[in-house]
Amino acid sequence: MNQVLERMVSPVRSRLIETLSGHAKQVPAWLVRLEDGEDEGFFGEDSAAWMVHSSMPTLVAGVRALLLQALHPGALAGVRDHSRYQEDPLGRLAGTIQWIHTVTFGSTSQAIAGSQMVQAMHERVRGEFTDGHGVVRNYSANDPELAQWVHVAFTDAFLTAHEHWGRPIPGGADGYVAEWAKAAELMNVADPPRTAAALRACIDNATDSGELRGGPEVTEIVRFIRRPPLSRTLKPSYRVVFRAAVSTLQPRHREMLGLSQRDLLPIHAATKLVLSGAEYLIGPKSAAELAARRRLARLAEVAE
């Protein structure tokens, strides 16, 4: 019976792993290197960051972060002008996951080097955009304003998804926000929020000031996020994940994104089922966390 079940789920597992890592069979070299390193890194194994970033609600959080980030016209311009998200959506996703996991689970030097690599890539991401007040402005992906918005949208998405579908966070919501502020500092964000209240105040201030907006460009990318080119085996589950992400957004953000009320069907239980299925397929701990734990075990043996 177990062999029959394995034959049934194996293709789905391969597609899911390929979607998240960019590789179906080959383990990425950066992931293997997480076993190396000379210290624990910025976050320990009992940290809020480890808890949040190794759990299944990250699947919802990633979609929610993309939707919220798209409401900032500068961030959206960078994606539209310089990203190959339509031709290679999995490549962009895999790159983002690599940075998150390297900073979360890597050694201190790996986290710093990974962030510097992303910043170097961002140096090429420059152009013009029309802001929420109709003013044409220059942008760079490394601008502190844009870097802060990306950080805030990311942190709020991962915190919110975990609060809905995850286990209790060590140190609570404030613990996670305070810890992940280190990632913002690595990306040269000068004064990132360090409490959940400050984080959500940042988002409210950006919304109330008119910094965020919808429009045809936003509609275009929302259409892509809603129906990315996934394999048929993953599409039913992704529809649930997308609706779960939408359900956690503020109503005014949903309105700016042009998302209808039908995306707000009661799906909490369906989302729990999908996330449980994903955990069954790829395991309760991410490959990055397991590699980091092997590094910590090696360091502990040396210290004895």
Q: Which residues contact 204 (CB under 8 A, 6 or more apart)?
A: none
User: Residue 247's pLDDT is what?
Assistant: 93
- The C-alpha atoms of residue 105 and residue 110 are separated, in whole angstroms, by 9
Whether 227 is covered by a domain: the verdict is yes
Whether 11 is covered by a domain: the verdict is no
Whether 10 is covered by a domain: the verdict is no
User: Residue 285's pLDDT is what?
Assistant: 79
Q: How many domains does the chain have?
A: 1
Whether 191 is covered by a domain: the verdict is yes
85 touches 79 (CB < 8 A): yes
Whether 15 is covered by a domain: the verdict is no
Block mean pLDDT (10 aa), the chain, length 304 = 45 56 66 92 96 94 94 88 62 80 97 94 84 84 88 97 96 98 95 97 96 93 89 89 94 92 73 91 83 95 80
User: Residue 33's pLDDT is what?
Assistant: 92
Residue with tokens 């976050």: 43
User: Residue 140's pLDDT is what?
Assistant: 81
Secondary structure (H, E, C), 59-84: HHHHHHHHHHHCCCHHHHHHHHHHCC
User: Residue 193's pLDDT is what?
Assistant: 98
Whether 244 is covered by a domain: the verdict is yes
Whether 214 is covered by a domain: the verdict is yes
Whether 78 is covered by a domain: the verdict is yes
User: Residue 1's pLDDT is what?
Assistant: 39
12 touches 234 (CB < 8 A): yes
- The C-alpha atoms of residue 296 and residue 109 are separated, in whole angstroms, by 15
User: Residue 202's pLDDT is what?
Assistant: 97
Structural domain range at position 119: 28-299
- pTM of the predicted structure, to 2 decimals: 0.89
In 3D, which of 202, 218, 213, 220 has the Cα closest to residue 151? 202
